[in-house]
Amino acid sequence: MKFTKMHGLGNDFIMVNAFEEGIENLEGLAKDICDRRFGVGGDGLVLILPSESDENDFRMRIFNPDGSEPEMCGNAIRCFAKYIYDREMTDKMKVRIETLAGVIIPELILEDGEFKAVRVDMGQPRLRSKDIPFAGVEQQQVVGETLEVDGEEYSITLVSMGNPHCVIFVDDADGFPVREVGPKIENHPLFPEKTNVEFIEVLNSKELEMRVWERGAGVTLACGTGACASAVAAILNELSHRKVTVHLLGGDLTIEWSEDNDHLYMTGPAEEVFGGEFRIKN
């Protein structure tokens, strides 16, 4: 099976053109190919698929290293957009991509004809507890609520970008024990579909420092949907402006929550690393 390795701020993916490759047992393949010692290594397996609707252009599926299938991934969809543009699979600068989180619209940004970044219309954030989903309360929004984990209390704000996010504001993002606390919150019984967890230090009204524990992947260098959810959470808690720079271990993303259409926009890079062939296990 031919593949291409790409990354968005160090959040790395194995891209496979499913227009050309026939693939079975996706859960098992994701576990094998994402393994960093016995496979290619990556935070996810991404499939480039034909759209199931005449209204849209492509379809994306993504599988975590543990074989689970998340609804969306912000860094992966930027890589997706660059992949199809570089291979002339489309001549559009703005494409409609079907995901389990709905239709997402990335737009390529070029400078002097050269690829610079991808600006993605991530749609509207979903804030009702049942849309996260969260079993703890029945209220419309979960902003600054208390969650108890192993005797510790955390103030949480919940946002769905088509996938669930639990945002926690901390004094020191670098020093926070993400690997210890992250999996406990991911698997907390009040999150019936588990959750991604973001630990956010507010540097000022225009800058956030973020560390993330991703559902099904663990600690990663960046999470696009997590950056979006964190910006929304900061705004809901009156800690930031509607346009912020989110600093992640792998680099920066610009997130803007538009006042006129309530949509969230994410701008950031995507890079191709190498390509090759992977021998699928029988």
- In a shared domain, residues 35 and 69: yes
Average model confidence (pLDDT) across the chain: 96
- In a shared domain, residues 61 and 137: no
- In a shared domain, residues 139 and 253: yes
Q: Which domain holds residue 235?
A: 129-262
The pLDDT confidence band at residue 238, using thresholds 50, 70 and 90, is: very high
Structural contact between residues 95 and 81, judged by C-beta atoms closer than 8 angstroms? yes
pLDDT at 188: 97
pLDDT tens for 193-213 read 999 999 999 999 999 999 999
Tell me the mean pLDDT in the region 121-134. Answer: 95
pLDDT at 261: 83
Q: List the single range of 55-59, 168-172, 238-242, 257-261 with lowest mean pLDDT.
A: 257-261
Is the per-residue pLDDT at 53 higher than 80? Answer: yes
Amino acid at 278: F
Tell me the mean pLDDT in the region 109-125. Answer: 95
Q: Let me know the angle formed at the C-alpha of 209 by 61 and 34, rounded to the nearest 5 degrees.
A: 30
Is the per-residue pLDDT at 88 higher than 80? Answer: yes
152 within domain boundaries: yes
pLDDT at 130: 92
150 within domain boundaries: yes
**Catalytic residue at 223?**
yes
In whole angstroms, what is the distance from residue 249 CA to residue 10 CA? 8
Is the per-residue pLDDT at 281 higher than 90? Answer: no
174 within domain boundaries: yes
Is the per-residue pLDDT at 27 higher than 80? Answer: yes
264 phi/psi in degrees, rounded to 5: -105, 135
pLDDT tens for 70-84 read 999 999 999 999 999
- In a shared domain, residues 258 and 133: yes
Q: List the single range of 22-26, 59-63, 155-159 with lowest mean pLDDT.
A: 22-26
The pLDDT confidence band at residue 23, using thresholds 50, 70 and 90, is: confident
- In a shared domain, residues 135 and 204: yes
Is the per-residue pLDDT at 139 higher than 80? Answer: no
Between the alpha carbon of residue 273 and those of residues 41, 79, 197, the distances in Å are 12, 11, 28
- In a shared domain, residues 139 and 258: yes
pTM of the entire structure? Answer: 0.93
The more confident residue out of 154 and 280 is 154
The pLDDT confidence band at residue 122, using thresholds 50, 70 and 90, is: very high
Is the per-residue pLDDT at 107 higher than 80? Answer: yes
Residue 82 burial (CB < 10 Å; 0-12/13-18/19+)? buried
Structural contact between residues 206 and 226, judged by C-beta atoms closer than 8 angstroms? no
Q: Let me know the angle formed at the C-alpha of 96 by 92 and 97, rounded to the nearest 5 degrees.
A: 120
282 within domain boundaries: no
The answer to whether the bond into 50 is cis (omega within 30° of 0) is no
The more confident residue out of 261 and 109 is 109
- In a shared domain, residues 118 and 134: no
The pLDDT confidence band at residue 136, using thresholds 50, 70 and 90, is: confident
**Which among 142, 212, 226, 122 is positioned nearest to 174, based on CA atoms?**
212
Identified catalytic residue from 34, 79, 166, 223:
223
pLDDT at 137: 76
**Catalytic residue at 79?**
no
pLDDT at 140: 80
Identified catalytic residue from 73, 79, 166, 228:
73
Write the CATH number for 253.
3.10.310.10
Structural contact between residues 224 and 73, judged by C-beta atoms closer than 8 angstroms? yes
User: For the residues of 102-160, what is the DSSP string, one character each?
Assistant: EEEEEEEEEETTEEEEEEEE----B-SGGGTT-SS--SS--EEEEEEETTEEEEEEEEE
Percent of residues, the chain, with pLDDT higher than 90: 95
The more confident residue out of 96 and 137 is 96
